[in-house]
Amino acid sequence: MFGTFQLTILLNLYAITKFPTRSVVGCWDDESLDTQAVIAGVFETFHHPYDMSESSEIQTAMFNAADRWWAFKQLNHLHQTREAAAQ
């Protein structure tokens, strides 16, 4: 099983690679798409979480991945605390 750090990395890598790949392939399939707008959207991947835009699909996906990780981490910590208290 993955540790919480590895899980975080995997979730964020999935979010980071899924969006640009889908966007670029979309440009291949539809030549009417504005390639500059697609590239600008791909570059939204590189941001500081403090400046996250809820209107950005990739930034929202990355935030949600981190949020799931945080919830998992809290549940894991709670489980460990309960185990320690039961001993």
Q: What is the pLDDT of residue 35?
A: 93
Q: What is the pLDDT of residue 33?
A: 94
Q: What is the pLDDT of residue 37?
A: 92
Residue 62 burial class via C-beta count within 10 angstroms: exposed 0-12, middle 13-18, buried 19 and up? buried
Global model pTM greater than 0.75: no
Q: What is the pLDDT of residue 32?
A: 95
Per residue of the chain (87 residues), give pLDDT as tens.
567 667 767 777 777 788 888 889 999 999 999 999 999 988 888 777 788 888 988 888 888 877 887 787 777 776 777 777 777
Is residue 4 within 8 A of residue 71, CB to CB? The reply is: no
Q: What is the pLDDT of residue 83?
A: 75
Is residue 17 within 8 A of residue 59, CB to CB? The reply is: no
Delimit the domains of the chain by residue range.
4-86
